């Protein structure tokens, strides 16, 4: 099979995948299961945001193990790192009108009807499942 445009995986793609991973890249163990154990407390690479066990970070020489990162600073998972972006009301222009949809009330009514249909569908399936379960329990 020949492809005209092969898939290119960038360093940003790798960094995002590592950031979303909940397993330590050193030991492959789940990081979130060890929140209360000192040596296995989670730390985050300050550059690529990859999760590690603290002991694994130290075992790797106190640096990130992700190819192309190698950053030497980490911080405890969940630590308050201060505001990332601070905006005050003085930063916002005062003369801009608020956007109002032309047919806002019609859109809201249509959305409400959709939600009601979803709830009815869920209750139908829930009641059907409960009836099947009850019939199965009587049969046993």
Domain ranges of the chain: 11-76, 104-140
CA distance 127 to 133: 10
Secondary structure of residue 115 in the 3-state scheme: helix
pLDDT on residue 112: 78
CA distance 81 to 135: 55
CA distance 3 to 22: 33
Which residue stretches of the chain are H helix? Answer: 11-20, 54-59, 104-139
pLDDT tens per residue across span 68-124: 888 999 988 877 777 767 777 777 777 765 555 555 667 777 777 887 777 777 677
Terminal Cα distance for the chain, rounded: 54
| High-pLDDT (> 70) share of the chain, % | 76
pLDDT band at 41 (very low <50, low <70, confident <90, very high): confident
Distance of CA 113 to the CA centre of its chain: 30
Candidates 3.30.429, 3.40.5, 3.30.40, 3.40.50; CATH matching 11-76? 3.30.40
pTM (2 decimals)? 0.47
Q: Element (H or E) spanning 52, and its range? A: strand 51-53
Residue 36 has pLDDT above 60, yes or no: yes
User: What is the chain's mean pLDDT, rounded?
Assistant: 77
pLDDT on residue 57: 92
Q: Tell me the two tokens of residue 59.
A: 């075992």
Q: Tell me the two tokens of residue 29.
A: 């163990």
């Amino acid at each position: 099979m020949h492809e005209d445009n092969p898939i290119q995986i960038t360093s940003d793609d790798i960094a995002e995948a590592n950031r979303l991973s909940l397993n330590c890249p050193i030991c492959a163990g789940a990081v979130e299961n060890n929140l209360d154990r000192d040596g296995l407390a989670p730390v985050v690479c300050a550059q690529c945001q990859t999760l590690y066990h603290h002991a694994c970070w130290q075992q790797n020489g106190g640096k990130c193990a992700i190819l192309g990162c190698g950053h030497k600073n980490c911080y405890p998972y969940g630590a308050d790192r201060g505001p990332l972006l601070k905006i005050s009301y003085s930063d916002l222009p005062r003369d801009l009108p608020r956007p109002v949809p032309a047919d806002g009330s019609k859109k809201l009514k249509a959305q409400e009807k959709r939600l009601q249909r979803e709830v009815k569908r869920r209750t139908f399936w829930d009641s059907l499942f409960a009836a099947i379960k009850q019939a199965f329990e009587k049969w046993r």
